[in-house]
Structure formats: structure tokens, C-alpha cells
Amino acid sequence: MNKSAAPYIKVSRTEYLRLRKLQKYFETFWNYLSHLRDIQEAREDIKAGRTIAQEKLFRKLGI
């Protein structure tokens, strides 16, 4: 590996903006998927008669 090479690459402004938009879409999708998983997990807990742990609830609420 060439040690004198810079640790970055040049990207055109349009490509950079496209990648930023793609990153935002992926982040939105990931949050949506995470939310769906949480709902499914909560439904399974309710069916099994379990209660939600306080730590988990506080973490979700940001407390």
C-alpha cells in the first residue's frame, strides 16, 4: 500500500450531494425498520404476558 497517498478521495459536488441524499434515505429506512422491529417485539411480549423492563422503556423514552 502506498503510504504517501492521502486518506481521502476526490468526489464531485453532484456525486457528494447524491451520496448525502442516499445516506439520508437509508437512515430514514433504517429508523423505520427499527421502529417496526420494536412494535413486533412489543406485540410478542404482550402475547406472552411479559411486561416491558423499566430500563428498556427509559432508554426508548430517552430518560
2-22 tens-digit pLDDT: 667 778 889 999 999 999 999
- Say what the pTM is: 0.58
Q: Across residues 26-41, what is the average pLDDT?
A: 92
Give the angle 17-22-26 at the CA atoms, nearest 5°: 150
Q: Which residue has the cell 437509508?
A: 26
The three cell numbers locating residue 37: 422491529
pLDDT-based confidence at residue 57 (cuts at 50, 70, 90) = confident
Q: What value does the mean pLDDT of the chain take? A: 85
Backbone angles phi, psi at 8, to 5 degrees: -145, 165
User: What phi-psi label fits residue 35: left (phi over 0), alpha (psi between -120 and 50 degrees) or beta?
Assistant: alpha
- Per-domain boundaries in the chain: 13-61
CB distance 51 to 45 below 8 Å:
yes
pLDDT score of 23 more than 70: yes
The whole-number pLDDT of residue 2 equals: 63
